[in-house]
Amino acid sequence: MKSIVIFFSRADENYVSGTIKRLDVGNTEIAAGIVAKASNSDIFKVEPINDYPEDYNECIAQAKAEQQRNARPALKALPQNLSDYDTIYLGYPNYWGTMPMPMFTLLESCDLGGKTIMPFCTHEGSGLGSSESDIKKLCPNSNVKSGLAIHGSRLDRAEALVDKWLN
């Protein structure tokens, strides 16, 4: 059984523990690495053609506007040969109660029918939001399992959470 971690993450200014901090690597990218290592999975980073602003407030304003107009931002690339994989670990930060809109683009662009999807997100208090039900709507022919919500500011505890979630 072959698996892949497909994730979206953003570095730069992020909201962490009640304050804005500059991150060299986004929390979801760190979490994706933990999931990939624990599950012995390949890994693919989802990247929109137009990057989000480095400034946190500009980023969240753009993310909210994209969500309000149900945008599908163009992506730099899509993962190849997904037919080779049985399980897709899908990682993203919680943006306004669900996945960032580039993840909607991804899920509408890839045929994940018959695959098991294991969602995970990083957040600062809002958990998975509606992302699990959104994934089920976008991937009606996939087996979407219960997701894992990881506090971005508590990534030091993520390995134990991931191990428990995988088992």
Tell me the DSSP string of 96-111. TTB--HHHHHHHHHS-
Residue 17: what pLDDT?
A: 87
Fold classification of 3-166 (topology level):
Rossmann fold (3.40.50)
**CA–CA separation, 75 and 108 (whole Å):** 12
pLDDT given at position 63: 96
How much is the pLDDT for 128?
97
pLDDT at residue number 111: 94
Helix 56-68 and helix 101-109, axial crossing angle in degrees, nearest 10: 50
Q: What's the pLDDT at 73?
A: 98
How far apart, in whole angstroms, are the C-alpha atoms of residue 2 and residue 125?
32
Stretches where the chain sits below pLDDT 50 are none
Is 103 in contact with 92 (CB distance < 8 Å)? yes
Report pTM. 0.97
pLDDT of residue 1: 84
Query: Do β-strands 19-23 and 12-16 pair in parallel, antiparallel, or remain unpaired?
Result: antiparallel
Predicted confidence at residue 131, as pLDDT, reads 98
Are the C-beta atoms of residues 9 and 91 closer than 8 Å to each other? yes
Each residue's pLDDT tens digit, 108-143: 999 999 999 999 999 998 999 999 999 999 999 999
Q: In sequence order, which residues have a C-beta less than 8 Å from that of residue 99 and are 6 or more positions away?
A: 8, 92, 121, 131, 134, 135
Three-state DSSP at 97 gives coil
